[in-house]
């Protein structure tokens, strides 16, 4: 495991960044996730989900803080608009800073209707743009009302982007707005179409913020069907489906995609679905391209 304390400095220097997502923490069994995560190699940060798909998971900030201390690696807890009031959000963010968290990914969060707790009510006191602005305010020592607080936070603010969005112009405008609110870098949704990826990068790179391209290896055709049906803005092209039907492995397809786009991006965000070995193979492959 690479010991990276300050992700912000790595981004400023222009280092090629590797991030992934921890995968599900089963109930209280964080120790099992930590043991598994110790086998990651060459990562610069690990993302920790905030009750994805409205399923019950350990608090992302608390888990990320423990993970960072145990592994000596930067962690990026996801922080949604779904579950917290404006007051509670500010309290949690200040607490996250006290726990040593220095990076936050601001996101809307899946509605409670996606999960098993249909009676749960989404809060949504603010949207993801406003959340980014709120975090930026705290970095400047001010609260949501622009009133000075005692001290300030020092968060690196991550935001999401969707390279395969149906309307690229709208997506770029959303990125511009996130930057105006205070976003420092982007971790994108997965994309499989090289042409669309390049169209996205041509516009997005003009915004001047680092872009970590989302890579999700296609482990089987069942995952392909799920992506094309359930993941908004993410589509697996027919050509790739045919390649897989003819026996080509998803990891090989991912390698080919990385090879083509490697020099056009600032890093890779790996959707490894908790598969440490597969994630390590991607990091190893990409690092050889830079050698």
Contact of 33 with 23, CB cutoff 8 Å:
yes
Contact of 158 with 184, CB cutoff 8 Å:
yes
36, with CB counted inside 10 A (0-12, 13-18, 19+), is middle
Domain span at residue 212 reads 7-290
Report the b/e string of 141-177 with b at 16+ CB within 10 A. Answer: eeebeeeeeeeebebbbbbbbbbbbeebeebbebbbe
What is the pLDDT, as a whole number, of residue 106?
A: 98
- pLDDT one digit per residue (tens) for the chain, 291 residues: 443 348 999 999 999 999 999 989 999 999 999 999 999 999 999 999 999 999 999 999 999 999 999 999 999 999 999 999 999 999 999 999 999 999 999 999 999 999 999 889 999 999 999 999 999 999 999 999 999 999 999 999 999 999 999 999 999 999 999 999 999 999 999 999 999 999 999 999 999 999 999 999 999 999 999 999 989 999 999 999 999 999 999 999 999 999 999 999 999 999 999 899 999 999 999 999 977
What is the pLDDT, as a whole number, of residue 290?
A: 78
pTM: 0.95
CATH number (domain holding residue 87): 3.20.20.220
Q: Is residue 1 part of a domain?
A: no
Distances (CA, A) of 160 to 108, 139, 172, 205: 10, 20, 11, 14
Q: Is residue 30 part of a domain?
A: yes
The total domain count for the chain is: 1
What is the pLDDT, as a whole number, of residue 80?
A: 96
Q: Is residue 55 part of a domain?
A: yes
Q: Is residue 163 part of a domain?
A: yes
What is the pLDDT, as a whole number, of residue 102?
A: 97
Q: Is residue 18 part of a domain?
A: yes
Q: Is residue 142 part of a domain?
A: yes
Give Cβ neighbours of residue 217 (< 8 Å, ≥ 6 apart): 250, 251, 253, 254, 271, 272, 278, 282
Q: Is residue 224 part of a domain?
A: yes
Q: Cα(117)–Cα(34) distance, rounded to whole angstroms? A: 28
Q: Is residue 2 part of a domain?
A: no
Contact of 49 with 57, CB cutoff 8 Å:
yes
What is the pLDDT, as a whole number, of residue 6?
A: 84
């Amino acid at each position: 495991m690479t010991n990276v304390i300050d992700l912000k400095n790595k981004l400023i220097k222009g280092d090629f960044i590797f991030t992934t997502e921890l995968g599900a923490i089963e109930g209280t069994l964080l120790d099992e996730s930590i043991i598994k995560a110790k086998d990651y190699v060459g990562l610069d940060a690990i993302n920790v989900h905030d009750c994805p798909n409205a399923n019950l998971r350990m608090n992302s900030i608390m888990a990320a803080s423990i993970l960072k201390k145990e592994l000596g690696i930067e962690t990026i807890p996801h922080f949604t608009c779904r579950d917290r009031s404006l007051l509670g959000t500010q309290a949690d963010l200040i607490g996250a800073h006290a726990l040593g968290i220095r990076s936050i990914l601001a996101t809307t969060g899946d509605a409670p209707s996606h999960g098993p707790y249909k009676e749960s009510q989404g809060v949504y006191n603010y949207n993801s743009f406003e959340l980014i602005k709120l975090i930026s305010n705290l970095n400047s020592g001010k609260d949501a009302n622009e009133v000075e607080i005692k001290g300030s936070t020092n968060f690196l603010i991550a935001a999401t982007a969707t390279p395969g969005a149906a309307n690229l112009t709208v997506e770029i405008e959303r990125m511009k707005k996130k930057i105006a609110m205070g976003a420092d870098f982007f971790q994108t949704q997965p994309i499989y179409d090289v042409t669309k990826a390049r169209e996205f990068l041509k516009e997005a790179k003009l915004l001047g913020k680092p872009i970590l391209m989302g890579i999700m290896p296609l482990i089987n055709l069942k995952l392909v069907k799920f992506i094309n049906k359930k993941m908004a803005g993410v589509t697996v092209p027919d050509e790739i489906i045919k390649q897989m039907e003819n026996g080509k492995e998803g990891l090989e397809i991912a390698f080919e995609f990385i090879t083509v786009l490697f020099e056009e991006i600032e890093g890779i965000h790996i959707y490894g679905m908790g598969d440490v070995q597969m994630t390590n193979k991607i990091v190893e492959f990409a690092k050889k391209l830079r050698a």
